[in-house]
Amino acid sequence: MSRTKDVKLDCQAHTQENASNLDETHRGPEARHKRREAVLHNNRGVAYANKGDYELAVEAFTNAIELNPNLAMAYSNRGGAYRDKGDYDRALEDCTRAIELNPDLAMAYNNRGGAYERRGDYDRAIEDLSKAIAFKPDLGEAYGNRGGAYANIGNYDRAIIDYTNAITLNPNDPQSYNNRGVAHYKKGDYDRAIVDYTKAIELKPDFAEAYYNRAEAWLHLGEWENAQSNLTAAVRMGVDISDGFRNEYASVSDFERRNGVKLPADLAAMLTLQQ
């Protein structure tokens, strides 16, 4: 069980514009005032998006764009908000417009790449996210998102490299540790996976997904007590553990047969009840 990290938005909106791109209606004191107001609306939209209120975020970014149609960052941010709403077509449209206005805008490539990744277009996602990293090598979100794209095509070595870079840039991000743990798990490196899941939980004690993922790794190592305690924690936090277990195994007996083990009765009963 893993997901890519949500794309973050940028409140430092670009306010410099090429005057040759502005017609007479966008010049002069009144136009400058509108551009300043556009930045305020953009930043208000970022605040809404960070709270998860994407409807109000989209409204604020739209207001910014109406006030300043050349504000590339507002298009990029609105694209990020649409992405997090699951409206990938509008996200791609907005991010593409942002890139047309500012071809060097790393966050626009990051947000568009995130939309492609969510839509399952991993090759385009990797292409865009690589451009974001080229323009802004310290953009941790882009490494995390590209790691998710690599993981989804089964290139776990590249995913681990990207997640590690994301962690280096932001060592307090629990999602990156969790995602790197998943990549280690997929490679069969359960010990390293547990180290990463544990770090994710230290940073975010209510990280239900990390508890479930750590339980899976403990199962493969035959650490039944640790597995059961982590599954119990995940269930207490609202995780349907069958959602992840069924992705790999048809049943408890299927797990036992494929791994050559016999689960304790109480642990087997717990997994069975969740199916």
Tens digits of residue pLDDT in 239-269: 887 766 777 888 889 999 998 999 999 898 8
- CA atoms of 122 and 115, how far apart (whole Å): 10
So what's the pLDDT on residue 34? 86
**Residue 26 reports pLDDT greater than 90:** no
Q: Give the whole-angstrom CA distance, residue 207 versus residue 184.
A: 18
pLDDT, residue 273, reads 58
**Around 71, how many Cα atoms within 13 Å sit in the side-chain half-sphere?**
35
Two tokens at 163?
Answer: 């997640």
pLDDT class for 6, splitting at 50, 70, 90? very low
Predicted TM-score of the model (pTM): 0.84
